[in-house]
Amino acid sequence: MSYLGNAITANGCKRKTEVPHNSQELEDLCHSISEQYFTEERIFLQPINKKAALREGRIFLSRHFRLHKIWQFDNSRIVSLAKKGPITIGDLIKEENQSSRYIHPFDLKVVFNKKYDLFDGKLIAKSFLKEYGDEAEIVRDQASFMKIGLSSKVTVVTPPVYVHEITHSQLQSMLGSVRYYKNIELLPFFIELLCAYEMSDSEQILKFIETFYANEIVRYYKELKCLEAGIIKESREELVDLGKYLSSTISAINFFIEYYRTSPAGKKYILQEIQKIFDGVQDLEELTKKLGVTDRIDEPRIIKHLTR
């Protein structure tokens, strides 16, 4: 199965995927973004201590959500045992039981690496087949979460990026939490914005990340223009992946504008509804339908928010 197929199956998403196309609305939005001062501004991101960065993210998540434990399987122990010689079924089962555990997402190892850009992170997982039922009637991919990769240049945007990856762990370990592939990044992006929003009364950190998102939309648009002109070529999987990021970014901004403008009671309601997704009570699309959040491009509304 392809990477795209694996990603869709692992998240419990429907297989229907969307290939993005350029539109007048997207063109107008990118033109307006490109004209704004904030896309040209050279920003200085204040460095912070690694432990402080992780602590900031964990405090934020603990303040708003009850995170469920995630599955982790240490396959290296079994491989090491097998290399020593023949093993019995009993030994294998015993080793599997000792190698399988559920951990709190805060206990995931965090690796700081220079290969990651400032705003980038990655939740690293391996896929294993797990059997369910007394007679193994159901077999499906189960994600074993290994570690989180973050930029070795730790700055004030590191806590939101870390929070983004922890959010992925909650969604990917809850089958069916996201119904459509294009929305896989929506909630992690939104919670990243929310973390940044609460980190600074001046909204400076939030604006750093919003600036990055705005520039990413422009980058996606330029890539689509190059594809349409035949300057570059991409596979269908790459196109669908581009569509996922473009749709999720716009939807997350729309979602955050909704949160930003609502009352304290409205904010509390949204956080409670997100908790239901983490708990497996509802999926993301049920919440976005309630709130009217889509990837529709309302250029004046988005620009008004970004340039406030």
Same domain (yes/no): 252, 232: yes
Whole-number Å distance between alpha carbons of 72 and 95: 14
- When pLDDT is cut at 50, 70 and 90, the band that residue 233 belongs to is confident
Spatial neighbors of 292 by CB under 8 A, at least 6 apart, are 258
* Confidence (pLDDT) at 90: 76
Which stretches within 73-156 are classed as H helix?
75-83, 89-99
> Tell me, what's the pLDDT at 8?
58
Average pLDDT, the chain: 87
Q: Comparing 234 with 264, which gets the higher pLDDT? A: 264
Backbone angles phi, psi at 138, to 5 degrees: -125, 130
Closest by CA position to 164, among listed 77, 105, 99, 217: 105
Q: Does any domain span residue 124?
A: no
CA distance 270 to 259: 8
Residue 299 lies in a domain: yes
Give the per-residue pLDDT at 245.
Answer: 95
42/95 same-domain check:
no
| pLDDT tens, residue by residue, 134-182 | 555 555 567 889 999 999 999 999 999 999 999 999 999 988 899 999 9
Sheet (strand 121-132) strand order:
109-113, 138-151, 121-132
User: Does 162 share its domain with 300?
Assistant: yes
Over residues 70-99, the pLDDT tens digits come to: 999 877 777 777 777 777 777 777 777 777
- Report which of 151, 122, 149, 147 is spatially closest to residue 45, judged by C-alpha positions: 151
**Statement to judge: residues 83 and 218 lie in one domain:** no
Indicate whether 257 pLDDT > 60: yes
Question: Please, are residues 186 and 248 in contact by the beta-carbon 8 Å criterion?
Answer: yes
> Is 130 a domain residue?
no
Residue 203 domain-assigned (yes or no): yes
Residue 166 structural domain: 3-67+154-306
Q: How many domains does the chain have?
A: 2
187-211 b/e (C-beta count within 10 Å ≥ 16 → b): bbbbbbbbbbbbbeeeeebbbbbbb
Note the Cα 85 to chain centre separation in Å: 41
102 three-class SS: strand
- pTM equals 0.89
In the chain, the percentage of residues whose pLDDT exceeds 70 is: 87
* Whole-number pLDDT of residue 129: 65
